[in-house]
Amino acid sequence: MSVNEGMKWYVVRAISGQETKTKHYIETEMTRTGMSDLLGQVLIPTEKVYQIRNGKKVLKERNFFPGYIMVEAVLTGELVHTLKNIPGVIGFLGETKGGEPTPLRLSEVNRMLGKVDELAESAEQVTIPFVLGESVKVIDGPFRDFVGSIEKIHEDKRKLEVMVKIFGRRTPLELSFMQVEKES
């Protein structure tokens, strides 16, 4: 991601939960008012997380910084005024009363954009903490609905060794994190 000439990154505070809608309003308003050339990228830092819903693996995008939108822009007085009047926008982060919004330092921008890229790359990682000895239910595969206890956790492979009783005999199964859920 290159920083466009003269453009700096700012953080716009938005109503939490309405970041996507607000981002759309910002982009639409810039096009409508002919100020698109003053605006670079509009980003909502998000991370992808997997959740289990009704036995299915569901990919969900979650805001990494709820209530904040990163905006790359050449801030002129008119643009500041226009952005502040967009529905869902509360104001700028680091703004002094009556003063200009403070741009992010390059190190902060790189760290935030790096975090966004890192989160995009690690989308496959599922953060479901399991504990040894914990009781889990198999929700996928040929042993679906079997209940067993966790004997080993292979975090690097994102797999568990679960001991289940099959025909009265304790049998170890190697299952991925996505194939089990905590016993409720």
pLDDT digits (tens, 9 = 90+) for 106-124: 888 877 777 666 655 555 5
Where do runs of H (alpha helix) occur along 38-124?
77-84, 106-121
Instruction: Give a yes or no: residue 1 inside a domain.
Output: no
Mean pLDDT of the region 81-92? 90
144-166 pLDDT tens trace: 899 999 999 887 788 899 999 98
pLDDT at 1 over 50: no
The pLDDT of 7-11, averaged and rounded, is 90
- The per-residue pLDDT for 102 is 84
Contact 74, 6 (CB under 8 A): yes
User: Is residue 78, in this structure, part of any structural domain at all?
Assistant: yes
- Check whether residue 70 and residue 105 sit in a common domain: yes
User: Based on the domain organization, do 150 and 119 belong to the same domain?
Assistant: no
- Rounded CA separation 140/159 (Å): 13
The CATH number of the domain holding residue 42 is 3.30.70.940
pLDDT at 142 over 60: yes
This prediction has a pTM of 0.57
pLDDT-derived band at 97 (thresholds 50, 70, 90) equals: low
Please report, for the domain that includes residue 157, its CATH number: 2.30.30.30
Task: Say if 3 falls within a structural domain.
Answer: no
Do residue 89 and residue 169 come from a single domain?
A: no
pLDDT score recorded for residue 162? 94
89 CB-side CA count, 13 A: 23
Residues 103, 15 share a domain: yes
Range of 49's domain? 8-124
Same domain, 111 and 143: no
